[in-house]
Structure 1
Amino acid sequence: MTTELEQTVRKLATLKPQVKGGLDQAGALQLPESTKVRFEKYGVDYARGYPEIPVTEKIPIFVDEAEQFRNELFEVDDRGKYADPEKKALFGAAKEVKHLTKHIGTEIVGLQLSELNDKQKDELALLIAERVVVYFRDQDLDPRKQLELGKYFGPVEIHPQAPRVPVGEGGISVIWMDLAKSKGLDLSFKRGGGTAHWHTDLTHELQPPGITHLHNDAIPDVGGDTVWVSGYAAFDKLSPSLQKFLEGKKATYRSLHTYLDRENPLKGRKPVVREHPIIRTHPVTGWKSLFINRAYTTGIVGLEAEESKVILEYLFSVFEKNLDIQVRFNWKPSKKGLGTSALWDNRISQHYAVWDHEGLEPRHGTRVSTLAEVPYLDPNSKSQRESLGLSLD
Structure 2
Amino acid sequence: MAPTATPATESKDDLEATVKKLASLKPIGHSSFKGDVKVGYEGSWIEGLPESTKARYARHGVDISNGYPYVPENDKIPKFVDEAYAIRNEDYPFIERGKNADPEKKALFGAAKEVRNLTKHIGTEIVGLQLADLNDKQKDELALLIAERVVVFFKDQDLSPQKQLELGHYWGQVEVHPQVPRINHQLDGISVIWQDYFREKYGLGLTFKKAIGGNSQWHTDLVHEHQPAGITHLHNDAIPKVGGDTVWASGYAAYDKLSPALQKFLDGKTAIYRSAHQYIDRENPLKGPKYVEREHALVRTHPATGWKSLYVNRSMTVRIVGLEPEESKVILEYLYSVYEKNLDIQVRFNWTPSKPGLGTSALWDNRISQHFAVWDHEGNEARHGTRVTSLAEIPYFDPESKSQREALGLSLN
Residue type at the aligned position of 2:272:
T
Residue type at the aligned position of 1:281:
T
Residue type at the aligned position of 1:147:
L
Structure 1 residues 108, 167: CA separation in 2 closer, same or farther (over 3 Å shift)? farther
Q: TM-score normalised to the size of structure 1?
A: 0.96
| Match in the other structure for 1:285 | 305
User: 2:313 and 2:334 mapped to 1: Cα distance?
Assistant: 11
User: 1:55 and 1:128 mapped to 2: Cα distance?
Assistant: 35
SS in 2 for 1:122: helix
1:158-184: CA deviation from partner (whole Å, max 9, x where unpaired): 001111122635000000011110121
1:341-393: CA deviation from partner (whole Å, max 9, x where unpaired): 00000100000000110111000000000000000000000000000010101
Q: Shift of the alpha carbon at 1:82?
A: 2.5
| Match in the other structure for 2:4 | none
Whether the 8 Å contact between 1:281 and 1:375 is mirrored in structure 2 is yes
| Match in the other structure for 1:62 | 80
Q: Shift of the alpha carbon at 1:46?
A: 1.2
Whether the 8 Å contact between 2:28 and 2:279 is mirrored in structure 1 is no
| Match in the other structure for 1:249 | 269
User: 1:45 and 1:288 mapped to 2: Cα distance?
Assistant: 43
| Match in the other structure for 1:191 | 210
User: 2:167 and 2:150 mapped to 1: Cα distance?
Assistant: 18
Whether the 8 Å contact between 2:121 and 2:253 is mirrored in structure 1 is yes
Residue type at the aligned position of 2:203:
G
CA RMSD in angstroms comes to 1.7
Q: Which has the larger radius of gyration?
A: 2
| Match in the other structure for 1:115 | 133
Range 97-106 or range 267-276, more displaced: 267-276
| Match in the other structure for 1:388 | 408
| Match in the other structure for 2:163 | 145
Residue type at the aligned position of 1:333:
P
User: 2:46 and 2:132 mapped to 1: Cα distance?
Assistant: 31
Structure 1 unmatched ranges of 5 or more: none
Residue type at the aligned position of 2:147:
A
| Match in the other structure for 2:288 | 268
| Match in the other structure for 2:100 | 82
Q: Shift of the alpha carbon at 1:28?
A: 5.3
Whether the 8 Å contact between 1:52 and 1:166 is mirrored in structure 2 is yes
Q: Shift of the alpha carbon at 1:6?
A: 2.6
The percentage of counterpart residues that share the same residue type is 69
318, 342, 345: which is aligned to 1:298?
318
Whether the 8 Å contact between 1:144 and 1:167 is mirrored in structure 2 is no
| Match in the other structure for 2:238 | 218
The alignment status of 1:73 with 2:91, answered yes or no, reads yes
The alignment status of 1:209 with 2:222, answered yes or no, reads no
User: 1:6 and 1:237 mapped to 2: Cα distance?
Assistant: 48
User: 1:56 and 1:213 mapped to 2: Cα distance?
Assistant: 27
Q: TM-score normalised to the size of structure 2?
A: 0.92
Structure 2 unmatched ranges of 5 or more: 1-11, 30-34
| Match in the other structure for 1:34 | 52
Whether the 8 Å contact between 1:18 and 1:24 is mirrored in structure 2 is no
| Match in the other structure for 1:357 | 377
Query: How many residues are matched?
Result: 391
| Match in the other structure for 1:318 | 338
Give the alignment of 1:124-163 within 5 angstroms: 124-163=142-181
Q: Shift of the alpha carbon at 1:14?
A: 4.6
Whether the 8 Å contact between 1:26 and 1:179 is mirrored in structure 2 is no
Structure 1 residues 185, 89: CA separation in 2 closer, same or farther (over 3 Å shift)? same
Whether the 8 Å contact between 2:97 and 2:143 is mirrored in structure 1 is yes
| Match in the other structure for 2:22 | 9
